[in-house]
Structures are given as C-alpha cells and as structure tokens.
Chain A
C-alpha cells in the first residue's frame, strides 16, 4: 500500500501553518464528521467565480482531510433481532419473514439474547464502556423496504460507548515498517436491518424482499480521527478480523454483512472543518480506500477552483472509479426519534450486581462474557511475534489472509525448519503463488504437510534453495507426490559425497585453466562463478 497521494500534502504528516491567502473564500463551518444526528442542511451553492481550476501553488496550501466511518455489521445469529425468523443469506424471497418482520398490526418485538451478547462482546473487544442500561428508539422514515415505516435502533442511550480500536499502518513509503494508530469509537448500538429492494427499471417498479428485514445489526460509529483511504481500509480490516475472531459477525463485505459509510471533509489545518459529504455503496476494502481518496481529491479540486462542497450523499461507482451524487435522498431528513414504547430498558448486570436467584436465561452478566472472550487479533499477533520472533509486519500479513495463519501453524507442527524460514516460504512463495492464481488458502494445491516436507529437506541441506523452488513448482501441480518423491524423481539432491565433489571441481578447473588464473588473481570470493 503506497502512501496516500494527496496533492499538496506532505507524506510525513507535519503541517506547516500556511494560511490561505487572498481570495475571499466563504468558509462555512459545520458540525464535525460524526453523524448520529442526521439532519442535513443543504448549503446553497454560491456564485462560482468564472475561472478554471488552478494548479496549487508550490509549498502553499496544505489540506487536511477528515474521515469518519459508520460501520454496520450483521450479527451472526440463528434468528433475527426482534423475531424468530431465520437469518440466512440465500433463501427464496420472503420465506424468512414473520408477521412482525412484515409489520402486520398487532405484532410486538421480542429481543434476541444472542444479539445482546454479540453487542456486549464487541463492545468489550473495542474497549468500550458497556452501559448497564440502554434504551431502544424508533427512527422514522419512509422507504419501501422498511415495512413498519420506522427502524428500531438505540439512539439516545446505546449499549456501548467510548471505545477505541488500534490498527496498523505502513509508515510513509517503506512497506516494511508498521506503526500503530488508534481510532476512537463513539458508540455501538443494536438496530434492525431493512429489507432488500431490487429496482426493475424495465417495468418501472421496485421488488421488495423482506428476508433481511429485522436482522440484527451492530452499528459502530467512529469519531472522525482518520485522514485518508489507507487508514480507513486498515481500520475496517482490523474490525473485520476482530468481529470474525469473536464470532459476532462474519463481516464479509461482498455479501453485505459489513457495510461502511464514510463521511469526508477537507480543510486547512488550523481552520474550522469543511462541509462533509457522505459516501455509500462501498463493497470492498479496496474500493473503500479508493473512494475515500478520490472524494478527498475531488473536494480539494472543487475548493481550489473556487467551488463549494454540498452536504450530500454520494455513491462510489467502481467502474468509473469516482463518486457520483446519489439519487435524491430528500434533502432534509428529520427522523422524529421517539422512545420505542414496546420495549422496556435493556438492563445488563455484572457479577457484583447480579440479583440473587435470577433466571440465568434472562440475565446477561458482562463479567462472564468478558472472561469468555476469545483471543483477539492484536493478542494473536503479539503472541506470534514473541513465539516465533517474526516481524510485526509478517504477523499482520499472516492474519490478513483468511486461513493463512492456520496453514502456517500446521506447517510449523510438522517441520523442523526454523520459524523464519517457514514464515518466508508461506508469506513470499506460497502467498505469491496463491495471489497469482487468484486462489484462497483453502484452495491451495499444496497442503501444509507437503510444504513441511519440502522445508525439512531444505533444512537438512538435502537440496539447495533453487532446487527447492523447482520442487515447489512441481508440488503446485497438486499430483499428491511428496517433496521427497519429486526430489528423487528429478534428481535434485545436492551431492553429499565429498570426494565426488572434489573430483568434479578438479575436472572443472582442469578444463578451464584461463578462468582459474583470473579467479586465482581476484581472490577466493570469486570462486563461486
């Protein structure tokens, strides 16, 4: 990942306080990026001065970008948040819908225990304060895929708040040096997902499938502490790993289990924050980084050519590689929040406050959940570094690829080779081949045992490293031969017989006396040729 290519921004993030000179740019302040309050003010577009985009003056205007993320993660549970219908990605349309999900009159929400536990686990993993009492609210808006006309969420008092997430970024242009940064988590709340709408432009209608309506979501709202697409990508990746390690969400962006919206604005350091835009439709981590960087650049271009940024929602078009304004989302959105009248407050306990004789099915003990938390990615990486002495960058690489860590550990179990060697072969050779052939680790034609066998041969100096590469290529064909078999078939063994080697060298030297003279003059270091 290269350093962000922001025009006018120095790669090392030290801001010189160069003020914007000249030009009476009408700068409007707006609340900073966090968008728990979604009231949008449409800023009127000022008269645009009649000149084309100017090139930025050298060493002059420095821009700082402010990026805040809102992430929705689908909770991995059997049934939905407030009803007993199944949660499944593929099923016939409207077959996983209960009367409550279709918001038929007379139905009431009943909270799913598993979803609350998932929220508490996630809150603890993100260092949040778990609110022992949290409240549910209704957020009203009209859309065809929201049958009730409102979404049950937790706006006033969410289940967890004030946390942090640490992530690693490559520093500057050196791909081998990682630094740790932190982003603050504003809050985590439980909310309902809406149904799916499929737009049928041919017949000018929309088809609604409510299978997804009512599925539990964890909304993670972050403070706008990020400054570029690379950081946002790292944050989302880390959150993905955490959620997957906890088992609270499968966090697969392609399947819509993890949805990210980014709020982006630019400003000159020292000046008030600029107007922000919201970017949606980010379906993969790569698009996320590209979209954010593109939007930052677009805003800089717009402002430098004297234009204004509208407070709007934009969608990322992967084909065009740019953000485009979204279909109208009705400028002013007033969600008319009100307390959910059908749900009492959600009360959580810890060991100290647990009421005696309480039904264990009906109470949730935060301490119990904390004790049962699995190992988080950051702890795993630390353990890898300590146990195997590998570089932090390598620990990140091992965890970032699904299944790679398991593969590595399986190889380690079966081989005598040094961890450093194993790491190198797994991260460079194996991963290189996988990427080149666009395969997942689970689809690798080389099994951990096969690789372990190969590394053993290398370790015992039975073959050279170049021969090992050849063996690897053979193994890649996946013909169920072991490394040892391939070596003997292709006669790739290093010659071990000392005498035979001496005779070979002698005959070589006798055959080429000129080379020997030259080499003899130059010194022993040239003998390898």
Chain B
C-alpha cells in the first residue's frame, strides 16, 4: 500500500497528461491507448477497497480469452500486473512514433511461392482427442457461452 501511495505521488509530481486530485479515493481512468495500438478495452480502476477491476470486465475477459479467473488472488494479481505496466505512461512520448514491434528494424523475409510442406495428415491427426476419417472432430457449432464458465477446465483438456 505504501508503494502505491508513493506511485500516485510520483505521478502527481510529474503532472503528466492525466490530471488527478490528491484525494485518497482517486478514480484514475486509464485512457484507451489511441496513439499506440488498439490493444484492449479501457479498464476502470476504482481504488475503493474491494475490486479495482470490475466483475463485468472479468466476465468479459473470461469469455473472450477462455481463461478462468477462479479466485480473488488471480484478479488481484491481474490488477497488480496492470498497475505495474501502467508505469510506462509516465514516459513522455509526445512526438515520438510508437514502436510496432521489437523486430521493426529487421527485414521481413519473403519466401518464394513453392510447395514445401504438407502431406502429414496422419501425424497431425494423432494430436487430436477425437478423429473421424481424417477429419478433426470438434463440438457442434461454436463453443456456446453459457456453458463456458463450467466447462473451462474440460475444454482446455480436450485440445
């Protein structure tokens, strides 16, 4: 907690793009990263005791990423991770082009249009839990959402 207070004060001192009051209950809105890349939703931090990341956000993420935030610890760890990464915003990047990737100075290798792979159906099908006549077998349609929350562990086990 002390660390966090220090962090907030630090940001206040630098007085960057985000203006905020020095009140204890601060609602700091993380901006959607418009200048960098369309990465994810904006997450709303509400430092009022219990969750800083809301239940709706967790549910939404669980559906999208098919992960299971089973416990409070997992959510707390996520919050800490976001806060840790948030410190990047302290850097003044006005007028600096965002980096696309650490590879951006490399040359993108162009392969010539030859057939060099494939014909390994048997090997690939060995990886699948269920197979039918050289086809992979999947559950019907798409993964239906309401059942997701319960089925998570067994779903990941299948693949």
Contact = CB atoms under 8 A, between A and B. Distances in A.
> Could you say which interface size class chain A belongs to?
35 or more
A364 B110 CA distance: 9
B124 to A, nearest CB: 5
Contact of B38 (A116, A156, A205, A341): A156
A199 interface: yes
Contacts of A332: 60
Nearest to A199: B140
Interface stretch (A105-113, A234-242, A453-461): A105-113
A112 B113 contact: yes
Nearest to A206: B138
Interface stretch (A90-98, A252-260, A501-509): A90-98
A331 to B, nearest CB: 9
A201 B140 contact: yes
27 contacts: A79-B113, A79-B116, A84-B117, A85-B118, A94-B136, A95-B118, A95-B121, A98-B117, A100-B117, A102-B127, A104-B124, A104-B127, A111-B110, A112-B110, A112-B111, A112-B113, A142-B142, A197-B138, A205-B137, A206-B139, A328-B144, A330-B63, A334-B60, A337-B38, A338-B37, A344-B106, A347-B107
Interface in B125-142: 125, 127, 130, 132-142
Contact of A113 (B100, B112, B118, B121): B112
B66 A339 contact: no
A93 B133 CA distance: 9
B103 A344 contact: yes
Interface string B86-127: 000000000000001111111111111111111111001101
A473 to B, nearest CB: 48
Q: Nearest 9 CB-CB pairs, A to B?
A: A84-B116, A144-B138, A98-B117, A114-B113, A207-B135, A85-B118, A113-B110, A208-B136, A344-B103
Contacts of B107: 344, 347, 362
Interface string A181-211: 0000000000000000111110011111110
B109 A77 contact: no
Contacts of B108: 111, 343-347
Nearest to B99: A339
Interface string B19-47: 00000000000000000011111000000
Contacts of A344: 101, 103-108
Contacts, number: 167
Nearest to B110: A113
A114 B112 CA distance: 7
Given A79-B116, A199-B141, A206-B138, A140 B111 contact: no
A61 B132 CA distance: 56
Given A199-B141, A206-B137, 16 more contacts: A84-B111, A84-B118, A94-B121, A94-B134, A97-B120, A99-B124, A111-B108, A111-B111, A140-B64, A207-B136, A207-B137, A208-B137, A334-B64, A337-B37, A362-B107, A364-B110
B145 interface: yes
Q: Is the interface of B mostly helix, strand, loop or mixed?
A: loop
A411 interface: no
A78 interface: yes
A143 interface: yes
Contacts of A155: 38
Interface of B: 37-41, 60, 63-66, 100-121, 124-125, 127, 130, 132-145
Nearest to A198: B135
Nearest to B124: A102
B69 to A, nearest CB: 16
A435 interface: no
B113 A77 contact: yes
A325 to B, nearest CB: 14
A324 to B, nearest CB: 16
Contacts of A346: 108
B140 A336 contact: no
B110 A362 contact: yes
A423 interface: no
Given A92-B121, A92-B134, A95-B119, A334 B41 contact: yes
A144 B66 CA distance: 14
A78 B136 contact: no
Given A86-B115, A112-B113, A142 B143 contact: yes
Contacts of A97: 118, 120-121, 124
Interface string A511-528: 000000000000000000
A347 B106 CA distance: 10
A361 interface: yes
Interface string A314-340: 000000000000011010101011111
B103 to A, nearest CB: 4
A74 interface: no
B33 to A, nearest CB: 11
Nearest to A342: B103
Interface in A364-378: 364
